[in-house]
Structure 1
């Protein structure tokens, strides 16, 4: 058994479940909790009782069925994503506990300086997307969060699992009547979650773009899905302008620069596959597992 003790916040969530299973397979001591992050006394009590060496924060609201929910529930979004996240980080700092915050890279959008296929967004770039209240709160929290000397911030984008879980990006776009055809950075959980454990156990801190290298379009994803998982699957496209007419909030489209992450992982002899390669392997695993 490892000397490290992991406590996962947001214990009933999708990513949290994958992390717990991964840590258990690695023989690590792990527990999950659903304590509300904004309840300071309860948070401190849990940290004192369990005495984790590492907290993995997967909690927060993204909205159901999607981030449009946050537009009509701003107070609840603030309470969880702002007050709660910062309270948990602060409590961990007081207790000398390393915290990994699973954040979002949906704080950027292609612009004149960062066009599609051109210059990508690094960890140092100022957020330029506030088209959704969800993204607006996330970028503000990150600015404060990175001041904590015990905090690792991992920016996920459009996470994908090896099944058709309702929260997986592939599941979502496979059910859309129409999709936009724009290249984006994606986070394939099978590749990336083990990396988060490596970084946490080595007490790395700061902000990392936490996606597979490269960018892949919605069409490319669905073409691979049809090739390996669901032969005969079809889809159609519409423009961003047409999409905006059916959404309450805007959507981020961007490619994140993974140079910092790739270079850091070289120190631990860890490699992550380019996003097109990662998707092919993901869909092959799906097909082998009987997913249709």
Structure 2
């Protein structure tokens, strides 16, 4: 099966090493950019590893909200639309930084848990994408 990983960050590179598939680090600034890159590879599956985590850490996302919002919220929505148009499956890698975890209770999170951590702008952008997808 033809797989394309978008995003050459830590997770994207590790997945590419494991899956031995195509990976693209192209900067995506628009629907057109994403569509062109995907058409170039013609995948059956897209794994989205694109995301902004700030320069030093997710706290830095507060300093560049435009980039964070576009990378973490709009790109996943764009990829979902492209997936629907071209019948390509989308796997979206999100974040664990969308849950308020109570270490004193130490209960494992479940897939059914709803995001509940809104303290960071980074987390909110990830939650917006989760809800949209």
TM-score by length of 2: 0.89
Please state how far the C-alpha of 1:39 moved relative to its aligned partner: 1.8
Work out the CA distance in 1 between the residues paired with 2:84 and 2:35: 11
Radius of gyration: which is bigger? 1
Work out the CA distance in 2 between the residues paired with 1:107 and 1:67: 12
Which of structure 1's runs of 4+ aligned residues deviate more than 3 A?
A: 117-121
Please state how far the C-alpha of 1:37 moved relative to its aligned partner: 3.6
Work out the CA distance in 2 between the residues paired with 1:123 and 1:14: 23
TM-score by length of 1: 0.43
Q: What secondary structure, in the 3-state scheme, does the structure 2 residue paired with 1:103 have? A: coil
Question: Out of 120, 124, 131, which is 1:136 matched to?
Answer: 124
Mapping for residues 183-222 of structure 1, pairs under 5 Å: none
Please state how far the C-alpha of 1:35 moved relative to its aligned partner: 2.6
Aligned to 1:93: 84
Q: What secondary structure, in the 3-state scheme, does the structure 1 residue paired with 2:47 have? A: strand
Aligned to 2:114: 126
* Unaligned residue ranges in structure 1 (runs of 5+): 25-29, 146-292
Work out the CA distance in 2 between the residues paired with 1:87 and 1:75: 16
* Unaligned residue ranges in structure 2 (runs of 5+): none
Change beyond 3 A, Cα 1:87–1:37: farther
Mapping for residues 138-153 of structure 1, pairs under 5 Å: 138-145=126-133
Question: Out of 42, 51, 56, which is 2:42 matched to?
Answer: 51
Please state how far the C-alpha of 1:19 moved relative to its aligned partner: 1.3
Work out the CA distance in 2 between the residues paired with 1:31 and 1:61: 21
Please state how far the C-alpha of 1:58 moved relative to its aligned partner: 0.9
The alignment of Structure 1 onto Structure 2 pairs a total of residues equal to 133
Please state which structure has a larger fraction of its residues in helix: 2
Aligned to 2:94: 103
Please state how far the C-alpha of 1:31 moved relative to its aligned partner: 1.4
Work out the CA distance in 2 between the residues paired with 1:6 and 1:97: 10
Work out the CA distance in 2 between the residues paired with 1:85 and 1:127: 17
Q: What secondary structure, in the 3-state scheme, does the structure 2 residue paired with 1:110 have? A: coil
Aligned to 2:51: 60
How big is the alpha-carbon RMSD for the aligned residues of Structure 1 and Structure 2? Answer: 1.7
Q: Please state if 1:117 is matched with 2:105.
A: yes
Aligned to 1:9: 6
Higher relative contact order, structure no. (Cα contacts within 8 Å, ≥ 6 residues apart): 2
Please state how far the C-alpha of 1:59 moved relative to its aligned partner: 0.9
Aligned to 1:289: none
Work out the CA distance in 2 between the residues paired with 1:51 and 1:129: 36
